[in-house]
A and B are shown apart, each in its own frame.
Chain A
Amino acid sequence: MEKKGTILAENIIFIVLNLVFITILLLFLFSKSGAAAVLEEKYAKKIALVVDSARPGMVIHLNMEDALKIAEKEKFPLGQIVSVNDNILTVKLREKGGYSYSFFNDVNVIPYFDSTNGKEYVFTINSKQ
């Protein structure tokens, strides 16, 4: 009886250690996939491609919930996440960071944070002439 009890305890410790190991690996994976630098690049390129495909007069709504959460955590102003200078678009989720990508479509892009639902960024596309 005593021997069986010992085996059970060892097995439980073994399983718990394995679970701890898997949890740490999963946490590492999630932290990497949702990292600010990765999201900055992803959204800068995504928005640049959307702007390239857009035509003057369009209003584009983009759900950026995951990026907004990170910016909130980093205490970065939500209204300044996306900025456009001429045809260079920058996405910044933290003070020391940011990713810029250019778009070829020669249009005026006005980005603003939609505070009504707190999840979206809105881009209005206007002709330059």
Chain B
Amino acid sequence: MKKNKTGAEKIISVYWFAILFIVAGAVVAMVALFYGKPYDVREMEAQILVNHVANCLSDTGYLKEGIIGNEEFQNNFLEECAINFNTEEKSSDPQYFLKVEIFQESNRVFEISEGNINLVASCGVESEIEKERLAKCAEREFYSLDSENNLYLIKVLSIIRKTEKNVQV
């Protein structure tokens, strides 16, 4: 009887060690998965870019002067709004796209787009798996007045790719 009990205990201890190894393996795998994945900050970055452009165009609800009909502002939009689209990967395609439209009574009076236009296709994709690997989009619409109290609708779209730095490929 005593002999049998020792045998059973031995079997239990073997199972116990097997369970320990399985638990340890699972924890190591989960930690490696969690910390091996880069932090994805693109959504936040796209939102900040939209806000940056909004601040550049409008101040306390009033459209800044010298924007509409000013070709110089339109041609040097990135410099005028202090935006730099250079990234750490010099050889790759532009990682940003920015589009600004200003409407007055449904007529478009200003339009500018800068960066990589191919990124627009990433917006509106519903599939969760594809969504993670695609560029992140942020859109904002707001109203602004000019000095003569004319109402303008301003639409800003910003897209950020930077997939290699934010998603595990």
Contact = CB atoms under 8 A, between A and B. Distances in A.
A28 B23 CA distance: 13
A58 B82 CA distance: 15
Contacts of B78: 106
A92 to B, nearest CB: 14
Most buried by B among A25, A33, A42, A107: A25
Given A52-B52, A101-B165, A127-B82, A45 B39 contact: yes
Nearest to A37: B35
Given A29-B31, A88-B88, A101-B165, A41 B48 contact: no
A49 interface: yes
B48 A106 contact: no
Nearest to A45: B41
Contacts of A107: 82
Given A21-B20, A102-B87, A105-B52, A28 B82 contact: no
The contact size tier of chain A is 20 to 34
Contact of B28 (A28, A33, A48): A28
B125 interface: no
B44 A49 contact: yes
Contact of A25 (B24, B85, B95): B24
A115 interface: no
Contacts of B86: 86-88, 102
Contacts of A42: 39
A88 B83 CA distance: 13
B45 interface: yes
Nearest to A35: B35
A53 B27 contact: no
Contact of A104 (B24, B52, B165): B52
B156 interface: no
A15 interface: no
A38 interface: yes
B84 A38 contact: no
B82 A106 contact: yes
Interface string A78-95: 000000001110000000
A52 B49 contact: yes
B88 A128 contact: no
Contacts of A127: 82
Interface of A: 21, 25, 28-29, 32-33, 35, 38, 41-42, 45, 48-49, 52-53, 86-88, 100-107, 127-128
10 contacts: A35-B35, A41-B39, A49-B41, A49-B48, A52-B52, A87-B84, A88-B87, A104-B49, A104-B52, A106-B82
